[in-house]
Chains A and B, each alone.
Chain A
Amino acid sequence: MKVLVAVKRVIDYNVKIRVKADHSDVDLTNVKMAMNPFCEIAVEEAVRLKEKGVATEVVAVTIGPKASQEQLRTALALGADRAIQIETDERAESLAVAKLLAKVVEQEQPGLVILGKQAIDTDNNQTGQMLAALTNLPQGTFASEVVVEGDQVHVTREIDGGLQTIALTLPAIVTTDLRLNEPRYAKLPDIMKAKKKPLDVKTPADFGVDVASKVSLLKVESPAERKGGIKVASVDELIDKLKNEAKVL
């Protein structure tokens, strides 16, 4: 079966972000960008399914500006067979992304779609669930184990109290938790080969999807700074401070 993987270009997870002086957004100029870590896990899982002979083809898709082709090339270097970019410079929100991905699903007819559980920039944790709703496919979110058996996929999910395993009828949508796998690094020869793999560029208009949202971003601020505290010299002093100064014991 074919596996579709959605990836997102985001600010690198190690970067300390800055809010713009006019509070319109976070400043992304000259900041290191990378593939969202949860998307890397999604790509890795798809490639492993191919190595196991479960998947026949892995297609990577992204929605974003021209520069997001870098992340598609990364996915290709990691083992995806071909890529689709839906180019837009607009801030596409989860619902618009899900609508575009639903069109790609309709066109490509994958047996399984794998996405990250959340992007580390917007921290929404919505797109996979919305895609499942729009395509009327079942969802296995926050997956830490994915086992395809015949026409079903068993997904072990990270839930608040522990783990839950559900069985979904294929085709299905899966979103990845950190625990699902450890992504590999792309090797130089694979990066070179990835440059020759097919990458289709489309636009939202090709799919008849309007990416405008009814949610507007009014302002972005830095959170209240925590004041640096003091260092204590001993356990006795710590207990004393907690009892008499902070009054939390």
Chain B
Amino acid sequence: MSILVLADLHEGQLAGATAHVVAAAQAIGGDIDVLVAGEGVQAAADAAAKLEGVRTVRVADNAVYAHQLAEPLGALLVELAGDYTHVLASASTTGKNVLPRLAALKDVSQLSDVIGVESADTFQRSIYAGNAIATVKSDDTLKVLTVRTTAFDAVSDTGSATVETVDVVVENTQSRFVKEELAQSDRPELGGAKVVISGGRGMGNGDNFKLLNGIADKLGAAVGASRAAVDAGFVPNDMQVGQTGKIVAPDLYIAVGISGAIQHLAGMKDSKVIVAINKDDEAPIFQVADYGLVGDLFEILPELESKL
């Protein structure tokens, strides 16, 4: 078996998610190659070469792959996929954007957001907002999978893969990058953070999210939000934790002013320890929380910050 992993990039650098996808590839077994596609990605390729268990890093460095637009990246993957039995990417917005294209162009199904590997053709994935786990078997000749990174521990960076250049250049006349507005933050990235503190509708407004920042700084935590908080315009969408936002599984998840709707739980219920702070002691979040504190978050948060 041979597996191609599409590397995740963030602002041209290798994203942490890739090390988790390589771990999923190791669970399948076989030779593992990593494809780094973008523009000016030599540093990312070098970083990918250090991932434990990788045989070869294949680098497609060309302006046409900048911003990893779906059309050229899908065409590139189709060119390369013939050498492999499996193609994997993280279930990031890039992986979700591109892999179904590859699958359709190769006339195979795609398995999304895989959380377990039973064998080379049998996998687990969550359905219905994480309220059921499906075990599925694929008889397709090529298996195309996106991987939930929180379900696999990252491989170490002690490897030394060879790096080779991929000369495939495809034309793209259909789509064009216009602009990007990336949220700037010094905090850890939400998907990979050990501690996450999230606010919901109970925060009242966007300014009050500052109450979470002080605690996040002390704990080295990322700050997340429920859909209600995003919809109300308190914080930007990329902070949303849930079925349709980010899936997180930190050591500690602190939910503040979040009732705990099915769609939010889908994004955080695999956290090791869950703390809920809410004034409504009937809120469903208390049914999944290891430690619940009933009370007014505007009193509790400053006290918590001062005592940490």
With both beta carbons as reference points, the residue of chain A lying nearest to B144 in the complex is identified as A126
- Asked if A133 is at the interface (CB within 8 A of a chain B CB), the reply is yes
Contact B275 A238 (CB under 8 A): yes
Query: Is A16 a contact of B131 with CB atoms below 8 Å?
Result: yes
Q: Mark A165-178, 1 if CB is under 8 A from B, else 0.
A: 11111001000011
In the complex, whether B43 has a CB less than 8 A from a CB of chain A is: no
Query: CB of B264 within 8 A of chain A?
Result: no
Residues facing B in A98-131 (CB within 8 A) are 98, 117-118, 120-131
**B236 contacts across to A, CB distance below 8 A:** 162
B225 CB to nearest A CB, Å: 13
Q: A130-B104, A164-B177, A178-B244 are in contact. Are A231 and B262 (CB under 8 A)?
A: no
B281 within 8 A of A: yes
Contact flags A145-164 to B (C-beta < 8 A → 1, else 0): 00000000010011111111
B207 on the A face (CB < 8 A): no
Known contacts A235-B300, A239-B307, A246-B291; is-contact A179 B237 (Cβ 8 Å): yes
Contacts of A138 in B (CB 8 A): 70-71, 174-175
Do A242 and B101 touch (CB < 8 A)? Answer: no
CA–CA, A160 to B91, complex, Å? 10
Interface string of B88-110 (1 = CB under 8 A from A): 00001110111111111101111
| Contact digits for B180-222, partner A, Cβ 8 Å, 1 yes 0 no | 1111000000010001000000000000000000000001000
B103 touches A158 (CB 8 A): no
Q: How far is the CA of A164 from the CA of B68 in the complex (A)?
A: 11
B126 at the interface (CB under 8 A from A): yes
Q: Are B139 and A214 in contact (CB under 8 A)?
A: yes
Please determine whether A231 and B269 come into contact, CB atoms closer than 8 angstroms: no
Of the stretches B30-38, B159-167, B282-290, the one at the interface is B282-290
User: Is A17 in contact with B97, judged by CB distance below 8 angstroms?
Assistant: no
Q: Counting CB contacts under 8 A, is B111 at the interface?
A: yes
**Closest CB of chain A to B93's CB: distance in Å?**
4
Residue of B nearest to A11 (CB): B128
Interface contact B138-A238, CB-CB below 8 Å: no
Task: Determine if A129 and B104 form an interchain contact, defined as CB atoms under 8 angstroms apart.
Answer: yes
- Is B133 interfacial (CB 8 A cutoff)? yes
Q: B238, A162: Cβ atoms under 8 Å?
A: yes
Tell me whether A206 is interfacial, beta carbon within 8 Å: no
Chain A 209-221 interface 0/1 with B at a Cβ cutoff of 8 Å (1 = within) = 0000111111111
Give B53 Cβ to nearest chain A Cβ, in Å. Answer: 24
Q: How far is the CA of A74 from the CA of B146 in the complex (A)?
A: 33
Least CB distance from A137 to B in Å reads 7
- What's the minimum C-beta distance from B23 to chain A, rounded to whole angstroms? 19
Residue of B nearest to A130 (CB): B104
Is the pair B178, A167 in contact by a Cβ cutoff of 8 Å?
yes
- Please state if B251 and A248 are interface contacts (CB–CB under 8 Å): yes
A interface residues, tally (CB under 8 Å): 81
Stretch at the interface among A51-59, A183-191, A192-200, A222-230: A222-230
Instruction: Kindly identify which residue among A162, A164, A214 contacts B140, using a CB–CB cutoff of 8 Å.
Output: A214
Specify the chain A residue showing the minimal Cβ separation from B305. A235
What residues of B have a CB within 8 angstroms of the CB of A222 in the complex? 131-133
Q: Does B292 contact A (CB under 8 A)?
A: yes
> Considering only CB atoms, which chain A residue lies closest to B180 in the complex?
A164
Q: Of B70, B128, B246, B291, which contacts A230 at CB under 8 A?
A: B291
Selected contact of B134 from candidates A14, A164, A220, A242, CB within 8 Å: A220
A165 to B69, CA, bound (A): 11
Tell me if A134 is interfacial: C-beta within 8 Å of chain B: yes
Q: Do residues B262 and A16 form an inter-chain contact, with CB atoms below 8 A?
A: yes
Given contact pairs A223-B133, A232-B291, A242-B273, A124 touches B112 in the complex (Cβ within 8 A): yes
B61 interfacial by beta-carbon distance below 8 Å:
no
Interface centre among B108, B127, B246, B281 (most CB of A within 10 A): B127
Q: Which residues of B contact A34 (CB under 8 A)?
A: none
Known A124-B112, A139-B101, A142-B93; judge A235-B307 contact (CB<8 A).
yes
Q: Decide: A246 and B290 in contact? CB cutoff 8 A.
A: yes
Given that A125-B112, A218-B137, A223-B126 are contacting pairs, would A165 and B179 also be in contact in the complex, using a CB cutoff of 8 Å? yes
Residue among A129, A140, A163, A231 with the highest chain B CB neighbour number at 10 A: A129
The 5 closest A-B pairs by CB, nearest first: A129-B100, A130-B104, A229-B290, A138-B174, A126-B100
Can you show 5 pairs from A to B with CB atoms below 8 A apart? A16-B131, A26-B132, A164-B180, A235-B300, A246-B252
Add 20 more A-B contacts to A17-B132, A124-B112 (CB < 8 A).
A13-B263, A95-B110, A126-B100, A128-B100, A129-B96, A129-B98, A133-B74, A133-B100, A159-B238, A160-B10, A161-B238, A164-B180, A177-B244, A215-B139, A220-B133, A222-B132, A229-B290, A230-B290, A234-B293, A246-B272
